[in-house]
Structure 1
Amino acid sequence: MPCWSFRVNAMFNKNCVFLIVASLAVAGGCTTTPTSNIKQPLTARPAAKPLVMVNDGAIYQPHQGIHLFEDRRARHVGDTLTVNLVENTQITRKLDNKQNRAGKATVDIPSPTILGHTRGIGATSWAPNSTADSEVKADITNNNSVTGAITVTVVDELDNGNLAVAGEKQVGLDNDTQYIRLAGVVNPRDIGQNGTIDSTKLADVKFESKGATGLDRSNLTSMMARFFLTILPF
């Protein structure tokens, strides 16, 4: 084999090894965030308060009032409230389909006539028939139960007084991250004194619970070790 061919093959193998190692390194540091079907903002900040000159020396200061007969329930953009997840749904579907089909036909073929004379072959009769029976039965039951809590933010105040809320919670354990997202519409009258509300009282609820798993360093090292062991000649 020519020397230049050996050098080209060695350079090609070196480039392949470099590309594979680089790809594994990039994959090890990346974790893809799961997609979401909620197309609205998941949080909102309250509007900034205008700066007001403070006039010291008086007992009552402007813009510093305290509402004596008002609690701390969420009612403005940026306020928070806790949603207790108490979803429990059960869907049962039953399918019972039965079909019977039958068909019958009769075909009579007379004796052939050749040059004006009928040959004594005799008439031929054909009576095919078919029958088909099909029956399909299926029972499908789907049970979903969700318990927990998530604190959401008021993202909009609707004209009728209701509040559009949304929020996201990220819980990371080891190399697994769980994303919990919630969006809906709240009637302020349904909010409890402690600032909580059950998810069954939300309208237009969109709830998601998805996970994203990343590749930690130990897994990456193990994969690289197995790769190099496969290409070693001994």
Structure 2
Amino acid sequence: MVVSKGKLLLAVGLSMLMAACAQSPERQDSWESQMPGRETTVSENPGSIYQAGYGMSLFLDRRARQVGDVITVILSEKTDASKSSNTATAKESNISVPTVTLLGRGVTDNGVPILTTGVSSDQDFNGQGASSQSNSLTGSITVTVSEVLRNGSLRVRGEKWVTINQGDEFIRIKGIVRPEDIAADNSVPSFKVADARITYSGKGALADANSMGWLGRLFQSVLSPF
């Protein structure tokens, strides 16, 4: 089999493009902490006991409630799924045509009918399948409030990067939290975060060792003819 030079260059170019698209994730601005808007300057009034902007509520807790506040999300994710199926079918069909007669007598050869017709069919199918999957993620991550919705719910987002001698690991999470679900210590379990998107991944030598090479990804892609 002879491969032209143009086709070979095209395959190499596509593989390099796939390798570039599969690079390790980087820090993104969309996951950075959301800071509240700049507040207007408050004029000081020397000599007065009350100073605007320096008030303190004696009955207000420190739970997050506005943009820029932080919430600790306790990661407690565990999923177990299993599925099994068993299918068996059988079908049998028989069709027979009466012996053909000629001038009122059957057509035979030495007494054996020669114009008889019959069709039979027998089909059997037996299939089995089983699948199971289990995932677990525990830990904690502190995120910031990026938006306060009209109903009072808080949209939160954040990421945490941990640098190890062989690479970086990170956790990203975003979702919506109800103020009623926030505990007294300003924490909320991850299973109470609505529309949650949790990502745990890494980059570096260990992550590269566990990833498929660019040539293997080429043969596993939809562009591969094999």
CA distance in 1, matches of 2:27, 2:63: 32
The question of 1:157 aligning with 2:143 is answered: no
Segments of 5+ residues of structure 1 without an aligned counterpart are 1-26, 113-118, 216-234
Equivalent residue letter for 1:84: I
What pairs with 1:149-188 in structure 2 (closer than 5 Å)?
149-188=140-179
The question of 1:83 aligning with 2:87 is answered: no
Deviation of 1:109 after TM superposition, in Å, equals: 8.3
What's the counterpart of residue 142 of structure 1?
133
Deviations 1:126-185 (A, max 9, x none): 323222222222332222211100111101101111101111112222232222111111
The question of 1:98 aligning with 2:93 is answered: no
- Change in Cα spacing, 1:109 to 1:51, as seen in structure 2 (3 Å) is farther
Equivalent residue letter for 1:88: K
Deviation of 1:59 after TM superposition, in Å, equals: 1.0
TM-score (norm 1): 0.66
Moved over 4 A (4+): 107-112, 119-122
C-alpha contact (below 8 Å) 1:41/1:155 kept by paired residues: no
Q: SS at the partner of 1:102?
A: strand
CA distance in 1, matches of 2:196, 2:78: 14
CA distance in 2, matches of 1:125, 1:34: 78
- Change in Cα spacing, 1:179 to 1:102, as seen in structure 2 (3 Å) is farther
Deviations 1:44-97 (A, max 9, x none): 111111112222211110121111111111111111111111112211212121
Deviation of 1:34 after TM superposition, in Å, equals: 6.6
C-alpha contact (below 8 Å) 2:24/2:202 kept by paired residues: no
CA RMSD between the two structures = 3.1
CA distance in 1, matches of 2:89, 2:164: 54
CA distance in 2, matches of 1:110, 1:35: 84
What pairs with 1:27-106 in structure 2 (closer than 5 Å)?
32-33=24-25, 41-106=31-96
Q: Identify the match of residue 199 of structure 2 among 193, 208, 219.
A: 208
- Change in Cα spacing, 1:134 to 1:59, as seen in structure 2 (3 Å) is same
Equivalent residue letter for 2:96: T
CA distance in 2, matches of 1:127, 1:97: 30
C-alpha contact (below 8 Å) 2:31/2:172 kept by paired residues: no
Equivalent residue letter for 1:47: G
Equivalent residue letter for 2:183: G
What pairs with 1:127-138 in structure 2 (closer than 5 Å)?
127-138=118-129
- Percent identical: 33
Deviation of 1:41 after TM superposition, in Å, equals: 4.9
Q: SS at the partner of 2:191?
A: helix
CA distance in 2, matches of 1:57, 1:102: 103
CA distance in 2, matches of 1:75, 1:62: 21
